[in-house]
Structure 1
């Protein structure tokens, strides 16, 4: 998900890092450009974000349904470790309905996935999402994109998936790593920790070794995460210099 004003300040850096590792990458915007972006015939602005998401998934359903098994929605300031995403998804059948991400609790009975951390629909979940709007079972009842999509998933009987690792550590993160890896002093919890369905671990053991995503990532952080994920080798002590 992007917009004309973010193409050079954000989106180009996602394209030059993690997005290259996807099988198919589409940049959804309000206008078509040579970037390339797909024009979705929606206005920009946070109040239109759910319309943008609806139109994006409808477009993917009509044009790209047979090109992939899983469909991952990310913002233009999200960094994704695609290989770790593949690892998580390898345990599931995309022809079954699945909805994966960072599970939040309020407002929707079964919970919903954080939009900033990114979320995944299986092929069957995508079919049901589009069908929900065709039949009227799902509606644009709220401009809060991630919560509204989660409500549609619940209505269309698409279950949520626990994406934590075997140690209970999260893999999808709606904020940068420093929000979790540095243990906070006692005090009021941040809103995202109150929203979290599962307990949040702070400190060095906060995040899974198989982390999938981090949100609110600045361009320079994109390249730092790219380097640390794919180039840094922490076992040099084994070798002679």
Structure 2
């Protein structure tokens, strides 16, 4: 009998210790910010916003010139219209690319654009051939991505555009880091130059006209681009703020808030949902419907909180085409 009691007490003590240990470990896990849980914060390469120390003084504070490349289709006329009238005018120049000609909007026609990889590849080559010397940075996105251009320029500020930067929201699959297309992809002039070299050599960067065209059509354009650039020693880097929160988002604000509430559970009632959801200096939101683009435009550029001031060390004046803020 005493042996049974002793065994019972021993089991009870071991169970209690295990419970305490598991609670401790769980507590440590949930102290991680929701954004890091969501971003699958792997040990990939990452780069952050410039610090205040980096911003103080120096001739490097000239706002970088940005070319925005938007991939669209004639059937997405509402998305094209929303993009054209909201954030696109804030770019120094915006070019729309479409697989076929459309009378309702101006675009560069890419006949082989039905293949999404050919569409992306041709758009990048067109930008290189026509504007490589006119801009330092190039952002590529589809017509459902909303870009806060001023935050993007702030992120690029002080970075040498001849250095090969390939930035966005990074995901890893089978040892390949690639940038999620729906969140937008940012590359420096140095990267675009290297992509041009890679695209001219099928051993480095295959194209849809090759013998493995069928295989290419089944692959993600994001992965194919990352693979090409990796062969040129250019690696995808996750763009983050000082807290490690991603600046490029592949979802709407509404979806990001929902995800954060789901990850935080009951702690979401403590008022830290927005802080955990998104960076204050977020650059993009993805999969945004046309009507929500106008909502974002109002929130980003029009809505003001009376009496609230910001201590930014510098400001970017809108480009002449940005008459909607």
The TM-score, its normalising length taken from structure 2, stands at: 0.64
- In the alignment, which residue of structure 2 is the partner of 1:122? 188
CA distance in 2, matches of 1:185, 1:77: 24
Which structure's CA Rg is the greater one? 2
CA distance in 2, matches of 1:82, 1:121: 14
CA distance in 1, matches of 2:153, 2:205: 29
Deviation at 1:181, TM superposition (A): 1.7
- For structure 1, the 5+ residue unaligned runs are 187-201
**Which residue, 7, 24, 39 being the options, matches 2:93?**
24
5 Å matches for 1:53-72?
Answer: 53-72=120-139
CA distance in 1, matches of 2:308, 2:234: 48
Deviation at 1:161, TM superposition (A): 2.8
RMSD value over aligned CA atoms?
2.0
CA distance in 2, matches of 1:219, 1:162: 27
The TM-score, its normalising length taken from structure 1, stands at: 0.85
- In the alignment, which residue of structure 1 is the partner of 2:34? none
CA distance in 2, matches of 1:14, 1:77: 8
Q: Does 1:173 align with 2:249?
A: yes
5 Å matches for 1:126-137?
Answer: 126-136=192-202, 137=204
Q: Secondary structure at the match of 1:154?
A: helix
What is the aligned length?
A: 219
More helix by share: 2
Gap change, CA 1:133 and 1:108, over 3 Å in 2: farther
- In the alignment, which residue of structure 2 is the partner of 1:217? 288
- For structure 2, the 5+ residue unaligned runs are 1-70, 208-214, 264-271, 310-325
Question: What per-residue deviation string (whole Å, max 9, x for no partner) do you get for residues 135-190 of structure 1?
Answer: 2211146331111111111111113333110011111001111222233546xxxx
Q: Secondary structure at the match of 2:163?
A: coil
CA distance in 1, matches of 2:121, 2:135: 18
